[in-house]
Structure 1
């Protein structure tokens, strides 16, 4: 069996490894370290939790043991997709380089530029960064990458998912062509393969497990869940999660609960706290200080449940996670492998339980197709998810009220006989007033003389501004004032043709 002493590591690095309690390398470490020490490019493909971080950390430190960095010109570069993974890699460097006089800098978001600039100005041997913050420093003229001798890309498939591939290609172009590249990924998507063919030179390919496989010491299961009502799905799903946690009992010493959306992370964490579970959220929208504090509490055992988005699914090394609960089926099947890889690490047993609602069944099929085996179905503790009596009655009463309101507005409470009579009356045509039917001036010329002496009542209303005419005839007074026709014909509406008025005036 291969041991670290057989890998030709630097003596001071080897001493740190032994002090950390490691004797035998994992398969990916045993395969990647020798060619990396020879200066060859390495393409490492292994499932999460197999020790990929030490696969590039140990040979890098051995190669950098000699020499010294210059200001703003790092000698090595490690790219990570998330702040948490970058911080974890930095911790590994601290562990294995404690007997070496090497400097490092961590460039991640959520931290002041000023502090990071101070470290870069002094010169660093190892620069660990996320792609976005690295390019920010470069564009501000604070960083020169022309002296990078070793470049590492960790969790490359996660870089692809997060949209960092254009940034990675740009960073590759900023580093020397003669650099050594160590490229690690859990899965090998076509886009990742294109990058390796472009930027790696005759790499040594180490694949210690079939792509997208899950560890054999992780017990998996899925609960098929259908809510009693659509509007109760979220509440009942959270209740199901609590029942699953309770069913595990003391076996569940700690757990990571994964949600697809940041909003659900906050809601689930708040719900667990409400029911007495020690839980805290972690996702990309939180402050970096809060994320670091929460993660440290989980690692130290002060926090039992970590409710997380996929920001915590990749590369985080918490060796003693007993359970992983997938509150949602991941949208990307590869994320399932990384999520459940948080448990069952370093040879320990683990358990992964997932909740699947009807709309997620297609995603479940994608996951099973990727891992090439069916995930065992577990019994639903909620049964048929029948709501409690109080829960069922309350919404029913709520819904009745608007129905009665609608019935009042649309239907009358009048008895059918009276209603029929009212309908008959309404359908009868209304007789027009006699004065509207026949104009007075035509049949009685004498009335005209009377009109010249004293205006008729209708004309008096019109002379007062036509307010009454507007109400009764739809504003006829205003139209007559515009046309200048004071001798209106009663009963013919607002649109009386002018020639009718003219004929009447000639007769008068």
Structure 2
């Protein structure tokens, strides 16, 4: 059996490995370290959880043990897709290089540029970065990549999923052509293969497992369920999740719960906490300090359940995860391999559950096609019992409100289309005979009651009485029954309520 002492590593590195408690390399480490020490390009393909990080950090530290870094010109570069994975690589470097004088800098988002600039200005041997933050420093003129001797691309397939391939190609162009490239990925998509053919020179290909295979130490299961209605689907899934956790009992010492959307991550974490479970969310919208705090608590064992998006699915080395729950069926089949790879690491056993609804059939079939195996179906732990009612979250309350609003709209529409009920109470009838007085208007059948006009008294000014008389005069005659004089012609459109000043103006024009 091959041991680390047989791999021609630096004695200081071997001492650090011994302090970490390791003696025997994993297959990917045993296959990648020797050609890397020879200076060859390496293409490593292995499923997650097989120790790929040490496959490039150990030979890198050995090869960089001689030499000196210059300001703003790192000697090696490690690219990682996420902040958490970059921080994990930095932690591995610290552990294995503790007996050397090599320096490092970690360039990730959420950290001050000033602190990172100070590290780069002093000169670093190893630069560990995410592509976006690395390009930010380069465009600000704070970094030169012409001195890079070794370049590492970790989790290349995740880079592809996150859209970093154009940035990777640009960074490759900034580094010397004579660099040594170590390229690691869990799967080999056509785009990844194109990049390796372009930027790697006669690489040593190390493939310790077929691409997109799951570890034999992981026990898989899927719960097929049919929601009672669409509005209650999420609540029923959370009920099933809690029932599975309860059925596992003490065997579920800790677990990662994966959701497809960040909003669902927050909802599931809040629901678990409301039901007495120790859970916290982690996703890309959280501040970096909060993400690191939650992740450290899960590593330390102070946090039992970690509700995560796929930001936590790739490369994070948390060796003692007992369970992985896929609350949502991943939309990309490759993500299933990476998610369940968080358990069953380093030869340990693990268990995974996935909750699959009718709308997930297509994605579930793609997963089984990728892994080339049938995932065992298990019974719904709730059986035929209807899920207990759960307080609706603010996100879910929006849908019922919309439904009730539409119901009210339909009610209003129906009420407008239906004939109104007849009024049973008749309008009062005026029995008094109509007087032939100009001040008394003719009653109208449609009016509910006759209109009452104030009478002009003798005490009022004489001009007001004349104006009122003139305003009523046109209504008393019509062109059809009058004698035909100009002064007797009705003014069309003025009505009985013509203002006094308008009536006066018409009167003046008649007499002029």
* d(CA) in 1 for partners of 2:113, 2:126: 18
Q: 1:408 to 1:390 in 2, by over 3 A?
A: farther
TM-superposed deviation, 1:461: 3.4
- The answer (yes or no) to whether the contact 2:2–2:30 under 8 Å persists in 1 is yes
Are the counterparts in 2 of residues 152 and 183 from structure 1 also a CA contact under 8 Å?
A: yes
The Cα of 1:463 is off from its aligned counterpart by 10
Pairing of 1:296-445 with structure 2 (within 5 A):
296-384=296-384, 386=386, 402=408, 408-412=415-419, 414=421, 441=479
Query: Unaligned regions of 5+ residues in structure 1, if any?
Result: 419-429, 431-438, 467-480, 488-508
Which structure 2 residues correspond to residues 142-153 of structure 1 after superposition, within 5 A? 142-153=142-153
CA contact (8 A) 1:236 1:385 kept: no
CA 459–222 in structure 1, closer or farther in 2 if over 3 Å, else same: closer
Residue pair 1:105, 1:116 contacting (<8 A) in 2 also: yes
Alignment of 1:244-259 (within 5 A): 244-259=244-259
Q: Does structure 2 conserve the Cα–Cα contact (< 8 Å) formed by 1:223 and 1:380?
A: yes
Find the residue that maps to 1:43 and give its secondary structure: strand
* 1:401-449 per-position Cα deviation (integer Å, ceiling 9, x unaligned): 857766555435859xx9xxxxxxxxxxx9xxxxxxxx9646x5x6213
Task: Encode CA deviations 1:276-311: one digit per residue, 9 max, x unaligned.
Answer: 100000000100000000000000000000000000
Partner of 1:102: 102
Aligned residues: 443
Residues 458 and 188 of structure 1: CA distance in aligned 2, closer, same or farther (over 3 Å): closer
Change (3 A) 1:90 1:465: same
1:461 paired residue number: 495
Are the aligned partners of 1:217 and 1:350 in contact in 2 as well (CA < 8 Å)? yes
TM value normalised by structure 2: 0.81
Q: Which has the higher helix share?
A: 1
Question: 1:37 aligns to what?
Answer: 37
Partner of 1:105, secondary structure, is strand
Residues 389 and 296 of structure 1, relative CA distance in 2, 3 Å threshold? closer
Indicate the residue corresponding to 1:278 in structure 2: 278
Residue 74 in structure 1 maps to residue 74 in structure 2: yes
Gaps of 5+ in 2: 392-399, 425-444, 446-476, 501-505
TM-score relative to the length of structure 1: 0.82
Cα distance change on mapping 1:457 and 1:44 into 2, 3 Å: closer
Which residue number corresponds to residue 440 of structure 2? none
Give the 3-state SS of the residue equivalent to 2:276 in structure 1.
coil
Go from structure 1 to structure 2 and tell me whether the alpha carbon gap of 1:341 and 1:410 turns closer, same or farther (over 3 Å shift). same
Q: Distance in 2 between matches of 1:132 and 1:370?
A: 31
Asked if 1 retains the 8 angstrom alpha-carbon contact of 2:479 and 2:489, the reply is no
Secondary structure of the equivalent of 1:151? strand
CA distance in 2, matches of 1:77, 1:257: 32
1:16-95 to structure 2, matched below 5 A, reads 16-95=16-95
Contact 2:239/2:387 (8 A) holds in 1: no
Q: 1:389 deviation in Å?
A: 9.2
- Cα 1:118–1:361 shift into 2, 3 Å: same
Are the equivalent residues in 2 in contact too, given 1:440–1:447 (CA < 8 A)? no
Q: Does 1:448 align with 2:484?
A: yes
Cα offset for 1:457?
7.3
Deviation at 1:6, TM superposition (A): 0.6
Change (3 A) 1:458 1:64: closer
- The residue aligned with 1:112 is 112
Whole-Å separation in 2 of the counterparts to 1:165 and 1:71: 28
In the other structure, the counterpart of 2:449 is none
Compute the displacement of 1:106 (Å).
Answer: 0.4
Secondary structure (helix, strand or coil) at the match of 2:152 reads: strand
The CA distance in 1 between the partners of 2:166 and 2:201, in whole Å, is 20
Aligned pairs for 1:167-206 within 5 A: 167-206=167-206
Between the aligned partners of 1:58 and 1:66, the Cα distance in structure 2 is: 14
Q: Which residue of 1 aligns with 2:154?
A: 154
CA distance in 2, matches of 1:399, 1:97: 64
